Structure 1
Amino acid sequence: MADLDTADTADTAEPESVAVSRRDIKAVVAVEGSVAAGPTYRITAPKTGTVHYGSVLAGSHAGTVNLGKGEQPFRVGDEAAKVPVESILKKTLVPDGARVHKGVPVVEVAYAGFGLRGRLPKASAYRLLSGDMSATAAITDGPAGFDCTLLVASKAPAEPGEEGPEILCAIPDDVRVYNGLSGLIIVASGQVDEALALPTSAVSGSAVTGEVTVVNDDGSTEVRKVGLGVTDGAIVEITHGLSKSDRVAVTPPRPVR
């Protein structure tokens, strides 16, 4: 698709502006991480209901149960939870017969390999976790561009100012890595086609709502509230507040309070 049209005006009183355009946008964020052997993660309830552990966990003890990919360690109501990657049971988190809500962690397990761990930025965590996430990863000065299964890790933020939820990229066993190496996880979640879009640098705000400076045909300007959707870090979807015929100043207004 064509690049966003940026125009300098001859009238110095009119700010440099950029046109609202239509773009295909895929939500992507890069997360720094480090390699760990046998990292833990949690398998959550697939729906709201009563937990029933299957025969695979009956009378089991932590560290003694190997769980193959696709195995069903428990059910919630009539829906089974599946193990996403080969793992080892660490502990159950709720008793058999307990009623839980969808998404509540039920068992903690350890991946039977190496994982790349990192934290999602708070500003984009909800948007990414709410979508259908996928990931690729690269090890610093090592293997790059490999796909990995993305999991929500066990560790929660320790301090109020810490970054968002910890994620785990389960590194395939044919990718050679070592404990303690650093790397990058590229997380993608959702795509919007033909979205009204602007450069993120022209918008104040980073999630849900923002403000832009609209440049009118007569050169006058006005600050306008806009709705924000999917972003890839460089371009952001405008969900309401602007039309394709609008232009906005390349410099954003004051930050949204």
Structure 2
Amino acid sequence: MMKLLRKQMLLCSILFLVFTLSACSAIGQTDENNLTDSATSAEKTVSVVRGTITPTVSTQTTIVPAVPFIISSPENGIFNTAVELEEKITAGQIIGTVNGKELKSPVDGTITSIAPSNESVPSNYPVAIVHYTGFALNVEADNFLSTLPEYAELKAKFQVYDGVGPTDMIAVVSPAADENAFTGIVPQEGILQCLISQTVDVKSGQSATVVITATTRNDVLILPLSVIAGRQGTGLVTVITPNGERVETKVTLGVTDGANIEILYGLEEGDVVSATPPNLDPRGI
């Protein structure tokens, strides 16, 4: 009788232990699932803020001899020259006027082409070609220029790979596509030529990094570039509404500094945006 009682008690203990372990395992699994669900549902976001941004473009390129550059009319009007063909000029010298507005050379050089005086010219017309004797760095900047107003003030610095720098460039100009004749002279489309001072010790063929900046813009809406699908003109972001809804939203883009970008239309200050751009979201939302 005692043996039977002991067996029954042992069996009950074993059953109780099995039940307890099963329950703990189930609870642990539930907690683990909850943690997984929580991690899955957590999404990194950023908010649209107001701030300042300095339009910037940078690239690595090669030092080359400078080519002649264009000085263009800032508006439609009558051009009057103040220099002669093949004349040597100095930085800051007036080369002519359009409707009384002075046009100056940013560097020392030689006038290789000049429009005749009392000539009616349209806006952006090349009224003079200047040859600078020195080195330069050429930058493809079509996208950069498309976000800026005409005749935006540009500055540049460069750093020679394993060499001099960072050093200020003396001017950022539009290189001429053809230096042989004035008629038909046009700037190289989308190219900026950054002129290097003759006092800086460089040579043709050296690799260098150049950074061009325009005037800083203040009190503009800003988002990190990394959250936007698109880089020029328009783009897409995923807006997270207060109730958690995800809304793919089209935005109009402005200038960029390489890390952040200006938002012209489509969002307001304080809007919350997914840190993952729409085209890279693995959920395909």
- Normalised TM-score (structure 2): 0.73
Aligned to 1:103, which of 124, 146, 149? 124
**Is the counterpart of residue 222 in structure 1 residue 244 in structure 2?**
no
1:77 aligned partner? 99
Distance 1:154 1:191, change over 3 A: same
Supply the distance in 1 between the matched residues of 2:52 and 2:101 (Cα, whole angstroms).
35
**C-alpha distance in 1 between matches for 2:223 and 2:128:** 43
Distance 1:53 1:243, change over 3 A: closer
1:30-45 to 2 correspondence within 5 Å?
Answer: 30-45=58-73
1:31 Cα deviation (Å)? 3.1
Per-residue CA shift, 1:94-122, capped at 9, x if unaligned? 444321122211111111322222221x3
**Residues in 2 aligned to 1:142 and 1:104: alpha-carbon distance in whole angstroms:** 38
User: Aligned residue for 1:160?
Assistant: none
Equivalent position of 1:150 in the other structure:
172
Between the aligned partners of 1:250 and 1:142, the Cα distance in structure 2 is 38
The amino acid across from 2:90 in the alignment is: G
Q: Which has the larger radius of gyration?
A: 2
Structure 1 unaligned blocks of 5 or more: 1-8, 157-162
The amino acid across from 1:171 in the alignment is I
SS of the aligned residue for 2:107 comes to coil
Structure 2 CA distance for aligned equivalents of residues 244 and 52 of structure 1: 49
Equivalent position of 1:123 in the other structure: 143
Query: Which residue is 1:132 aligned to?
Result: 153
Percent identity between the two aligned chains:
27
Q: 1:38 to 1:204 in 2, by over 3 A?
A: closer
How many equivalent residue pairs? Answer: 233
In 1, Cα distance between equivalents of 2:189 and 2:79: 28
The letter for the 2-side match of 1:113 is G
Residue 24 of structure 1: CA displacement? Answer: 2.1
CA RMSD of aligned residues (A): 2.5
**Are 1:169 and 2:194 an aligned pair?**
yes
Moved over 6 A (4+): none
Task: Return the alpha-carbon distance in structure 2 between the equivalents of residues 153 and 110 of structure 1.
Answer: 10
Gaps of 5+ in 2: 1-36, 179-187, 281-285
After TM superposition, the score normalised by the length of structure 1 is 0.80
- Higher helix proportion: 2
Q: Could you give the per-residue CA deviations for residues 206-254 of structure 1, whole angstroms, max 9, x where no partner exists?
A: 2343221011233320111223222111111223332333211122124
Closer, same or farther: CA 249–197 of 1 in aligned 2, 3 Å: same
